[in-house]
Structure 1
Amino acid sequence: MSAEQATTAAPRRNGGDLAVETLHALGARTVFGIPGQHALGLFDALSRSPLEFVSNRVENNAAFAADGYARGTGEVGVLFLSTGPGALTSLAGLQEAYATGVPLVVVASQIPLSGLGARRKGMLHQLDDQKASARNVTKAQFTVHHASGIPSAIQDAWAEAVTVPQGPVWVEIPQDVLLGEVLVPPVEDALAVPYDHPPRAELVDESVRWLRDAQRVAIVAGGGVRRSGRAAMESLREVAELLQAPVVCSPGGNTAFPWEHPLSLGGWVEDRLVTDLLEDAEVLLVVGSSLGEVTSNYFTLEPRGRLIQVDAEPRVLETNHPTLGVRADAGQALEALAAALRESGPVAEDAPVWHGRTPAEVVAETMGRVAARLDAQDLGVERRFMADIRAAVPSTMQTYWDMTIAAYWAWNCWDAQDGEFHSAQGAGGLGYGFPAAFGGAVGLAHQGRTGIDGRVLAVAGDGSAMYSIAELAAARQHDAAVTWLIIDDGGYGILREYMEGAFGKATATELDRPDFQALAASFGVPAETVGVEDVRGALERAFQADGPNVVVVQTRLAMWAPSHLGEAPEV
């Protein structure tokens, strides 16, 4: 059947209608993706649906955009994919959502039922097992074999996506099931409730015993705390204050604990001085973090005390260190710990529990030593650059960071304040920043946010920018309020730095690149190129404009040198 025949032959209500009706009944408002031959029934149904379709240019970027929409709005992101090449192209974007715990429902088309598992037909876009391709980057996968099963499959997928640990869920529907006439009445009501994951009582009791018996307690707050919402953050603060425990936030946990708090170590998880403090704790409480590569300071963290790890994903418990593992939602666990600790009363604030010093004194001294070490390095350009961006960005603005040297700095030193910090550190793939920010801007607009309140910032290097440059067309088409800061250093900057540090020279890191300002203009997107010293003013001007715009800064940034591994903490 040709594409034209498929379109004209489609009945008034088909399987695609059941899919979009179910999504709308579940609360979806926006769909990202790209049409495809086997998905025509799905896209035809969109024309009869209140769902708004956002047309991307590359499926991988569509996955990033749905991810950014979900992070920016707190809603479930929805992604429509075509069969074969379209589905496969999305996988790197889905890996980021899977690694970071972002709830997405992915609806992918499939070849007709008669061809599933059969190579003899040689159908266009055919894969031996398309669902298997998605298995490494999604929480669960469903194949629908008849139209009446579409609502239940999508409802189940939605419930799975929003259940902690959240993540993308894959539903694939064959072409003939999408196009076939249905007798099922329109879907008017659908309910998908997340499964509950409270902590077990005996684990809470044992954790409290460990924490109460310890003189030195420190806390790592991960992305699970932040994703659990404001109540979880308030419980974290109460636990920290009751225990007088220093708190450091992972990159995913940025904003989980206020940086201005006297017990806050900010986000300096990659500084050995902070790692030393965590290692010196008698009990280290890790909530909503796998203690992965970045948060563990590249697996150099070796706690000398006991470790309590709270996470909704059971596979991360006890994987990197022996621990008292508490499989639970971070918010529910923190609420339970706070209630139990509250009953036994707070630790005296002036108790000399850290080698004769109060926890607040230890935090202040550690952060002072971090600052002094940075002062001793030639990092004036980098520190001013990050400070200028922070000064330009309104306190409530959401920011999206690609894998670039500026993001490595931001993981540690960016105080998101009242906004949200989003980065690609989960899977670490290039090209995340701009399409995710585009998705976030679309979501804020749909929530009624206008002007600077609905604007977001994307930060990328020139290398990662080329992965997502086509989405300038999508941003222009949908008039998205996104400002894209491109740091043009002529190559893959962080890889250049790694190779020069390891081998004394860099190989294959230098790149020819376009005139980004002229290229943006060709898409009808305003752009400005400025020196590193002028980034604040350029961003402030861009934030006052309408629609998408680009700021290009041509500079090379460096990373800070780590302190000596195993340096004894002065506490």
Structure 2
Amino acid sequence: MTHDHDLVLRPTEAQTAAALAPPPGRTGGDLVVETLRGLGATTVFGLPGQHALGLFDAVGRSDLRLIGLRVENNAGFAADAYGRITGEAAPLLLSTGPGALTSLAALQEAAAASAPVVAISSQVPAEGLGGGRRGHLHELRDQAASFRDVVKSVHVARTPSQIPSAVAAAWESALSAPHGPVWVEIPEDVLRAETVIPQVTGVDATPHELAPRPELTALAAHWLEHAARPVIIAGGGVVRSDASGKLRRLAERLNAPVVTTFGGKGAFPWHHPLSLQSWLEDRHMTDFLEDADVLLVVGSGLGELSSNYHTFFPGGRVIQIEADLGKLESNHAALGIHADARLALQALLETVGERGDPYAPARVQLVLAEIQARLAGQDLELEQSLLASIRSALPPRSPSFWDMTVLGYWAWSAFDAGHPNTMHSAQGAGGLGYAFPAALGAAVAEPGTPVLAVSGDGGAMYSIAELATARQHDLDVTWLIVDDGGYGILRGYMTDAFGRTTGTELTGPDFVALAESFGVPAARTTAQTLAADLKKALDTPGPSVVVLPAVLRMFAPTHQ
């Protein structure tokens, strides 16, 4: 009797011939590269360091495309965006100690946003492992421990034969729902040592499917079909799992209004009759959601921003579909369905019946009108006009990346992303300096498509070095820098809380002259000329910078 699990793949004639006659001079670094190529990688991000030179030498002898950034954290942001745009795992190559640790903030953002990044770091030579005994440069007592609380999984290879399996396991983890960053660590001597291990020609890392349990989707479908006032909150999980089409079909079948979280921008059409857009930081919207008798939350943990700073308390039944088990019912009691959003929405579509509700679009229009009426009384025409100018200049399918800046905060609520997976920000972890290096990663992922990055002057200073990267690789990124002479968001927070500011006012460079010193064309614009200047920059191949001197205001707090 033969069991399926007894079957093994027989090597092909070509694999046998390659195994018996490997090319001379191959190293542990080559095993990493061969495994990455076997898994489908074509592009890697990162920058070399002393202990990682064996890995970078192998990359240099391969057909992998290396996008070398100037700072490890920025390389991590670029890999993050590449993973978000392509849905593929993005290799991030790092050195030991300081180089590795500099990537932590980027990996935290990737974890919060479920971006698949495979970080591969060198380590001190294997004989020196174990707590500083040998005093190697860059040495940490336990380097992997520095990353274990940030990344999804940690994989360590201590011998050449462990490398293919460790890299493949990391790849599979990064792409299994929920997507996320993973960490691989290989000692310097293992990367540099010659190996007799045959070329890696057979490697599999098929991601695990996370399907919903049928009894849960059956109950959820019953609740939704018989609800009086169902509402859907669509989070980033809908975008990550490419489930926007299924979400729309379900919403239309149920006649259920849909609001997208800031991480789920573009998951539902902005101008659809059932679209509540993204006004989650507004009490009118919070009241509307609390009034739902059945609330379907898809791909969101209902964290701080998605719950209007934890002032949202559902009044009816909650169904939560979430791939991250730790986020299931973490903020609100619910019928928790641990599943990939795409598979769970498909299961609901196969079960739920039509639900008629001719008044749903009118209820949507009423709450949106209330929000607009509130904004109209706050003298915020400048901020809203800037978003309109950006939307008119940006091609419909072009990705945009927004830093933690006043205009970025506005965009969370008020910007029409246009399409799924086209608007991204650092709101997952909330660190500065995300927009420009992430936009570079997106430009690598979609060559020929213009990409927009939006930063404040404070956040821009985190990423100035990457103007060199943009120029070196001739990437189609337009960088809009809104210069208000400081950390505008923090200035507002401190003024409101303490009546004065400390540390928020910044001396900055002439961004136009600075960009031009890198060979990147730049222009200074105004609110009136922004649309035309942005369109010209976006239409021109290669990198460009547009600087807008402006002090912007947020809309009044609406979570009180």
Normalising by structure 2, report the TM-score: 0.94
- What displacement does 1:72 show? 2.2
Counterpart in 2 of 1:328? 339
The one-letter code of the counterpart of 2:258 is V
CA distance in structure 2 between the aligned counterparts of 1:125 and 1:286, rounded to whole angstroms: 45
Counterpart in 2 of 1:541? 536
Q: How does 1:548-563 map to 2 (within 5 A)?
A: 548-563=543-558
Q: What are the ranges of 5 or more consecutive residues in structure 1 without an aligned counterpart?
A: 1-10, 351-357, 566-571
The C-alpha deviation readout for 1:387-421, integer Å capped at 9, x for no partner, is 11111111111001111111111111111113600
The C-alpha deviation readout for 1:133-192, integer Å capped at 9, x for no partner, is 011221000110110111111111000000011001100000110011111111123221
- What displacement does 1:73 show? 2.3
Counterpart in 2 of 1:469? 464
The one-letter code of the counterpart of 2:210 is H
- What displacement does 1:383 show? 0.7
1:418/1:316 CA distance change after superposition, 3 Å:
closer
1:59/1:309 CA distance change after superposition, 3 Å:
same
Question: What's the secondary structure of 2:61's corresponding residue?
Answer: coil
- What displacement does 1:562 show? 3.3
Counterpart in 1 of 2:486? 491
Aligned-CA RMSD value: 1.1
- Contact persistence 1:272–1:562 (CA under 8 A): no
Whether 2:250 is the aligned partner of 1:255: answer: no
Counterpart in 1 of 2:255? 244
- Contact persistence 2:76–2:92 (CA under 8 A): yes
Counterpart in 1 of 2:103? 90
Whether 2:309 is the aligned partner of 1:301: answer: no
Q: How does 1:206-355 map to 2 (within 5 A)?
A: 206-229=219-242, 232-341=243-352, 345-350=353-358
- What displacement does 1:535 show? 1.0
- Contact persistence 2:269–2:419 (CA under 8 A): no
The one-letter code of the counterpart of 1:382 is E
Which structure 1 residue ranges, 4+ long, deviate > 4 Å from structure 2? none
Question: What's the secondary structure of 1:552's corresponding residue?
Answer: strand
- What displacement does 1:530 show? 1.3
Counterpart in 2 of 1:149? 162
The C-alpha deviation readout for 1:455-480, integer Å capped at 9, x for no partner, is 10000000000001101111111111
Counterpart in 1 of 2:431? 429
Counterpart in 2 of 1:440? 442
Question: What's the secondary structure of 2:350's corresponding residue?
Answer: helix
Q: What are the ranges of 5 or more consecutive residues in structure 2 without an aligned counterpart?
A: 1-23
Counterpart in 2 of 1:369? 370
The one-letter code of the counterpart of 2:166 is A
Question: What's the secondary structure of 2:424's corresponding residue?
Answer: strand
- What displacement does 1:83 show? 0.3
- What displacement does 1:299 show? 0.9
Whether 2:382 is the aligned partner of 1:381: answer: yes
Whether 2:411 is the aligned partner of 1:410: answer: yes
CA distance in structure 2 between the aligned counterparts of 1:239 and 1:305, rounded to whole angstroms: 20
- What displacement does 1:564 show? 6.8
CA distance in structure 1 between the aligned counterparts of 2:559 and 2:45, rounded to whole angstroms: 46
Q: Percent identity among equivalent residues?
A: 56
Question: What's the secondary structure of 2:481's corresponding residue?
Answer: strand
- Contact persistence 1:462–1:489 (CA under 8 A): yes
CA distance in structure 2 between the aligned counterparts of 1:478 and 1:69, rounded to whole angstroms: 15
Question: What's the secondary structure of 1:289's corresponding residue?
Answer: coil
Whether 2:457 is the aligned partner of 1:457: answer: no
- What displacement does 1:210 show? 2.1
CA distance in structure 2 between the aligned counterparts of 1:75 and 1:321, rounded to whole angstroms: 32
The one-letter code of the counterpart of 1:80 is L
Whether 2:516 is the aligned partner of 1:521: answer: yes
The C-alpha deviation readout for 1:1-56, integer Å capped at 9, x for no partner, is xxxxxxxxxx7200000001110111111111110111111011012211011111
CA distance in structure 2 between the aligned counterparts of 1:564 and 1:38, rounded to whole angstroms: 50
CA distance in structure 2 between the aligned counterparts of 1:32 and 1:237, rounded to whole angstroms: 35
- What displacement does 1:502 show? 1.9
Question: What's the secondary structure of 1:533's corresponding residue?
Answer: coil
- Contact persistence 2:282–2:559 (CA under 8 A): no
1:527/1:233 CA distance change after superposition, 3 Å:
same
Counterpart in 1 of 2:16? none
1:490/1:104 CA distance change after superposition, 3 Å:
same
Q: How does 1:48-197 map to 2 (within 5 A)?
A: 48-197=61-210
CA distance in structure 2 between the aligned counterparts of 1:443 and 1:234, rounded to whole angstroms: 23
- Contact persistence 1:226–1:233 (CA under 8 A): yes
- What displacement does 1:372 show? 1.1
Structure 2 residue corresponding to 1:478, chosen from 473, 477, 480: 473
The one-letter code of the counterpart of 1:399 is S
Question: What's the secondary structure of 1:362's corresponding residue?
Answer: helix
- What displacement does 1:269 show? 1.2
The one-letter code of the counterpart of 1:257 is F
CA distance in structure 1 between the aligned counterparts of 2:339 and 2:106, rounded to whole angstroms: 27
1:212/1:418 CA distance change after superposition, 3 Å:
closer
The one-letter code of the counterpart of 1:210 is W
Question: What's the secondary structure of 1:325's corresponding residue?
Answer: strand
- Contact persistence 2:401–2:454 (CA under 8 A): yes
CA distance in structure 1 between the aligned counterparts of 2:533 and 2:299, rounded to whole angstroms: 37
The C-alpha deviation readout for 1:330-354, integer Å capped at 9, x for no partner, is 010011111111xxx311232xxxx
CA distance in structure 2 between the aligned counterparts of 1:455 and 1:517, rounded to whole angstroms: 20
The one-letter code of the counterpart of 1:246 is P
Counterpart in 1 of 2:11? none
Length, aligned pairs only: 536
